[in-house]
Amino acid sequence: MGDFGVIADVSAVIVETLTRALGDLSQDPPIAELHDLSEPVQTPPPKLTVFLYEIAEDPTSRNRPPVRSQPPVTPATTRKPPMALLLRYLVTPWGGDQPTQHRMLGRALQAFYDDAILDGAQLSGSLAGTTDSLHVTLTPLTLDQKSWVWYAIQKPYRLSLNYEVRVVNLDALAEQVVRPVRHRIIDGVATA
């Protein structure tokens, strides 16, 4: 389960995974970096930027039951289930020649195809040591949809990959105390 820093932690895991994948691409390997694309990307070395462009709630994970505290916590508490998030990333190559940029994209595709579920020792930050797993999926967007993403950040279109990471759990903070049942009424008769 993740605290408020879980989004940053997921982004770091994505960047680390891509940097490892790019490591043997050449003698001066490209690197992956988190970038908001508001400023020009500084090269050399060639870079694969990771831009988080959308955060959404995962509709398939709504209406989960409340989370109860585990005994021996006294008094027992419940809290809302974690908010399940979908994070959408734009992965774009910069610098080098076209073949280098295409190899970077190919390596990114290969890395997330071979290891589409990131878990265990691959996780860091608030996700480290948890049973959470991140499912990384190439998101099929039309050229028109991709163009709108580039238009929204006011940059000319570039060849890029769109990935969706689910389910990122963001823990709720509010807790309620659960009081034990001390008596009940059945058919108008109170019992203890």
Q: Is 178 inside a domain boundary?
A: no
**Averaged pLDDT of the chain:** 82
Cα gap 19→12, rounded to integer Å = 10
Q: Is 168 inside a domain boundary?
A: yes
CATH number at residue 100: 3.30.2000
Q: Is 162 inside a domain boundary?
A: yes
Q: Is 186 inside a domain boundary?
A: no
Cα gap 92→101, rounded to integer Å = 9
The number of folded domains in the chain is 1
pLDDT per residue as tens digits for the range 100-138: 889 899 999 999 999 888 888 888 877 777 778 888 999
Domain of residue 127 covers: 6-65+79-173
Q: Is 71 inside a domain boundary?
A: no
Q: Is 179 inside a domain boundary?
A: no
Place of tokens 């490591």: 23
What the block records as the tokens of 6 is: 């879980």
Q: Is 183 inside a domain boundary?
A: no
Cα gap 59→167, rounded to integer Å = 11
Work out the burial of residue 58: count CB atoms within 10 Å of its CB; fewer than 13 is exposed, 13-18 middle, 19 or more buried.
middle
pLDDT per residue as tens digits for the range 136-175: 999 988 888 888 888 888 888 888 999 999 877 766 666 6
| R_g of the chain, CA atoms, integer Å | 22
Q: What is the mean pLDDT of residues 79-88?
A: 82
The answer, as to whether pTM is greater than 0.75, is: yes
Q: Is 124 inside a domain boundary?
A: yes
Place of tokens 């203890």: 192
Question: DSSP for 40-55?
Answer: PPP-SSPEEEEEEEEE
Q: In the structure, what pLDDT confidence band is assigned to residue 89 with cuts at 50, 70 and 90?
A: very high
